[in-house]
Structure 1
């Protein structure tokens, strides 16, 4: 059995979780307390996605202990979706299940967070000692608190239809994006001999709009219009990385935040999503297309100015045939757009809103 001080520490962790409101802090708090409870050396927290017949995971962050303190680090770059290995698959075969294996002189433990078939996270902990079954059961109960707190966070921060982030969460996430963009700019200023393959890459803001969405609602009704929004949201989750921020801004407009993406790759990422929409067979409606505009995050500009730049690129896509991706900087360099004063952004947005109707 776990000793009383250990159990009390876990209960204290559950109490801290109940007061935590920021999503990253929810992940960090759960991982750090779990690591300390099992005296782990390091841990990994994965998001789980089941797209029949494939079960995949994506790294959200890692937790490392030096014996005295435990440190959490977000996977800021965003990780690809990868197949699960046998240990992770095994823990997902029961309600809040767990699985254990020995690898060399270390024990590897995996805990599913969620009911059978509905688990959305897996916490993996590596440590030098195999914990008792009672300790594993206690940690599984603690992870239910983590799941409950995350559900409360979702209720407050997700769009009720698409389950993407809602507009009111944009400002907080944008502040973090600005911070990441500043790190990328600092890295770009380093001499070439001091740069590494893992140095931060630029950050980007994209605006997505479903083409002729009003006609979809008029011709097929709002029920099928909502189905299109749901399918587009799911295609976004499948096309972008787990750590990319996806927002529904209202109506048929979506916003994407990308961290650490090279300038040569960003267009391809947005175009991959556009093609996924173009090729998807939507119930009753058939084929649907979307237009995309994106802009590089400049830490010197306000969120409104950067949204305005992405909107200008989106407006260009709409005006020049729709179903295409355009970047603000590329359009400026080619002379197709010019940088406008911030005061004109309201007029640009008005024009964009008018052409979407």
Structure 2
């Protein structure tokens, strides 16, 4: 039985290979044609919207899963690193790559708790910064409102949204206080579960830095320990080698870095202090002297306790005409400091310029020779190895087998 010519059936193929029977009275009037087209368009629009929403949800779930997996891999990579600057750099890069953020910047909080200094950044194009989290060079108050709010929020996450996108500041704690702030810029919204993943990644980094301090810092004074000396010394040698190569090229447009220096500090008559006042007051002298070192030297300088009453100082980018005055300033600070019960304590200092062509034992031996020259000539003094050689008081020798054996006490 045939249908009436005025009533016809139309089959329309839509996405996902579904056939929908659309029955409409095919009125020959324009109004009937327009009504049929509107019904078809609404039906297809509903199907497209449903498919688009499902696709968007699938992509969001996939992107969130990829971000969490990337954070796990970044945390695994952190556990294989040992150098502090490399740890800070990898921490920031891991967040940027996991979130596919436009930019991530790591800032260190100053001692005044109101100042921030950028130590490094990374984006899709590359990585920049020295990643040295020393808190020196913080002279001004925080001018940017978002970062000021992040400082005020303490250990809480700070968020902001404007025409440029989303911005988040993750606080990173150290010894129970906010030490760093990770500033993240993103053009798209970040899922809540991904934010929780970043928080877990930050907590992992905090615990890793606590373990780093336990392994690399002297438990009594808080200075770097003897174990960390080799890694820092290799970096110092690399700086000296670059300076020598640039000096050999004699480029007029290049800015040559100042020399690097290695100094040894020894407390005068420390055995007498222990025998007279006891080891408890002797430990207090070591702690107070370490505090004097932090105050006298830059926070970017490397300070070590080698053991007993002996300390080592690494200075970078210090002109030859000012290095003696820097060590002399520290000597005076120790001499004028009032040590509990003990009173006045003095120290002797010997230092030498770092030469990348010499082995570590020879460089330490040079500084040690200058130190013991001072101890044999009155103590409470500062002597440079190069000055003593120029004056004929010491003889410049290269590393020999006997000198290497004598230097074994340092390694």
What TM bracket, shorter-length normalisation? 0.7 to 0.9
Q: Corresponding residue for 2:331?
A: 274
Unaligned runs of 5+ in 1: none
Kindly state the Cα deviation for residue 42 of structure 1 after the two structures are TM-superposed: 4.9
The alpha-carbon deviation at position 303 of structure 1 amounts to 0.6
Find the aligned partners of 1:276 and 1:292 in 2 and give their Cα distance: 13
Residue 342 of structure 1 is matched in structure 2 by 399
**2:278 is matched with which residue?**
221
- CA deviation profile, 1:203-249 (whole Å, cap 9, x unmatched): 11111111221122122111111111112222223333333222111
Q: Which protein shows a greater Rg? A: 2
- Could you state the TM-score of these two structures normalised by the residue count of structure 1? 0.81
Q: 1:183–1:349: structure 2 CA closer, same or farther, 3 Å change rule?
A: closer
Indicate whether 1:187 and 2:187 are aligned: no
Q: Which runs of 5 or more structure 2 residues have no equivalent in the other structure?
A: 1-59
The alignment's TM-score, normalised by the length of structure 2, stands at 0.72
Contact 1:293 1:325 in 2 (8 A): yes
* CA spacing shift, 1:173–1:116, aligned 2, 3 Å: closer
Report the Cα offset of residue 58 of structure 1: 7.9
Q: How many residues are aligned here?
A: 343
1:210–1:252 Cα contact (<8 Å) kept: yes
Alpha-carbon separation, structure 2, partners of 1:55 and 1:154: 21
Aligned residue runs from structure 1 range 85-234, under 5 A: 85=142, 90-93=149-152, 96-99=155-158, 110-114=169-173, 118-125=177-184, 127=185, 129=187, 134=192, 138-191=197-250, 193-196=252-255, 199-234=256-291
Q: Could you tell me how far 1:256 is from its partner in structure 2?
A: 1.3
Aligned to 2:293: 236
State whether residues 202 and 262 of structure 1, in contact with CA within 8 Å, keep that contact through their aligned partners in structure 2. Answer: yes
Given that residues 64 and 191 in structure 2 are in contact (C-alpha distance below 8 angstroms), is that contact kept between their aligned partners in structure 1?
no
Counterpart of 1:302 in structure 2 is 359
**8 Å CA contact retained: 1:97, 1:140:** no
Checking the alignment, whether the CA contact within 8 Å between 2:262 and 2:353 is kept in structure 1 is yes
The answer to whether the aligner puts 1:16 opposite 2:77 as a matched pair is yes
CA–CA distance in 1 between the matches of 2:78 and 2:364?
A: 34
Partner SS for 2:252: helix
* C-alpha RMSD of the superposition: 3.5
Aligned-pair distance for 1:329?
1.1
Name the stretch that deviates more: 173-182 or 261-270. Answer: 261-270
Q: How far off its partner does 1:310 sit?
A: 0.5
8 Å contact 1:17–1:30 — kept in the other structure? yes
Q: Partners of 1:310 and 1:228 in 2: how far apart?
A: 23
Contact 1:281 1:287 (8 Å CA) reproduced? yes
Aligned ranges 1:293-332 → 2 under 5 Å: 293-332=350-389
Q: Residue 82 of structure 1: SS of its match in structure 2?
A: coil
Which whole-Å deviations, capped at 9, do the CAs of 1:330-349 have from their partners, x for residues lacking one? Answer: 22223332213534647987
TM-aligned CA distance change 1:263 to 1:90, over 3 Å: farther
**Which residue of structure 2 aligns with residue 260 of structure 1?**
317
Give per-residue Cα distances to partners, 1:52-93, cap 9 Å, x unaligned: xx347685841332x2x5425435797734256266565345
